[in-house]
Amino acid sequence: MAQTVVILLGAPGAGKGTQAVRLAEALGMPHVSTGDLFRANLAGGTPLGEKARGFMDQGELVPDELVLEMLFDRVAQDDCQAGYLLDGFPRTMAQAMALTQALGDQRPTVINIDVPDEAIERRIVERRSCKDCGAIYHLTFNPTSVEGVCDRCGGELFQRKDDTSEVVRTRLQEYHAKTEPLVSYYTDLCGLCTVPGQNSPQEVFEACLACLGPGSNAANSSSKPTDHLKTPCDNSQKEVGL
Ligand SMILES: [Zn+2]
């Protein structure tokens, strides 16, 4: 049986990571993160890891072909027989085209989690974490009962230094320039399912599952109504996926 390859697209802060973990679990497919693969190959001193280290020692970027080699080395393992869900790859047109070539006749199932920039900025800039237990809050959507104090452990809340408008805007600009073109690329290549990412994490999850449901080439996802796909973005103040 052919493997089902699931690709999640979406801006940084759109909630891809959260959904990737849940979807992989629901589908019984490994969640393959190229970042993790990279670290594992380097730490394990594998031949691919050593090759990558060679480029890094020269101060060069690791070529996409090498990242793909690590990826295909991983997905050849038994647990990926039915399929796998990609996280963090592809991020550029060059990577997407290299992946298409490597997959041959196989077409991925692509889900685009769509959240407007302003909403992403607000999610991230108003995010606060507890210094002691790591709990995450949001000033508007998920506030603590006492301002600045963790509900769970009484610890002090702080804002991570990367969670500023400047940093978020820079990351979004990079996303629009390099990754967003993949949306039309995959629309043309194999069709793509767009999910409004402003709904609650549970609703986004169900909408993603619906994309993978009957009619798609996903392995064993359950059937879900597709109404979520048709409703416009919900701006009500629900808990957001953080
Ligand atoms: Zn705490």
CATH code: domain of residue 159: 3.40.50.300
Residue 74 bears catalytic tag: no
Q: How far is the CA of 142 from the centre of ligand 1 (A)?
A: 14
Q: What is the mean pLDDT of the chain?
A: 86
| Segment 117-135 mean pLDDT | 94
User: What is the distance between the alpha carbons of residues 117 and 236, in angstroms, rounded to a whole number?
Assistant: 16
Tell me which of 39, 152, 160, 169 is the catalytic residue: 160
Q: Taking the model in full, what pTM does it have? A: 0.78
Is residue 176, in this structure, part of any structural domain at all?
yes
Is residue 44, in this structure, part of any structural domain at all?
no
Tell me which of 171, 178, 224, 238 is the catalytic residue: 171
Please give the helix or strand (H or E) that residue 200 lies within, else none. Answer: none
Is residue 77, in this structure, part of any structural domain at all?
no
Tell me which of 51, 53, 91, 178 is the catalytic residue: 91
What's the number of domains the chain is made of? Answer: 1
| Segment 95-118 mean pLDDT | 94
* Domain span holding position 110: 4-29+82-230
User: What is the distance between the alpha carbons of residues 2 and 186, in angstroms, rounded to a whole number?
Assistant: 19
* pLDDT score of 219: 37
pLDDT at 236 over 70: no
